[in-house]
Amino acid sequence: MCVAIPGRVVRIGELSTTSIPGRVSIIGTERDVDLVMVPDAMVGDYVLVHSGYAIKVIPKERAVETLVLLGIDAAD
């Protein structure tokens, strides 16, 4: 089973031919991710992150619900 963790986009870098570098806050920790699969994502959006890639933009409510189901404090 694979698990994608919700995070909030805090920074988007310059587009290259194969990548859209971004920074996502996940449970209060910032991580570098590639936003190439969600090119319409904007700073402040919530995304599902799996293996260093943001794979889907989701509503904040769904992000919080997912974190709660995982037993994680969703205060971020």
Domain boundaries, the chain: 5-63
According to the model, what pLDDT value does residue 75 have? 61
Options 3.60.15.10, 3.40.50.1820, 2.30.30.140, 3.20.20.70; CATH for 5-63 is 2.30.30.140
Q: What is the rounded average pLDDT of the residues 61-70? A: 92
Give the dihedral sign, CA 34/56/69/23. Answer: positive
Distance CA 35, CA 56 (A): 9
Is the full-model pTM beyond 0.85?
Answer: yes
pLDDT exceeds 90 at position 3: no
Phi and psi, residue 9, nearest 5°: -70, 125
Beta bridge partners of residue 9, listed in sequence order: 24
Q: Are 7 and 46 in contact (CB under 8 A)?
A: yes
**Residues present in the chain in total:** 76
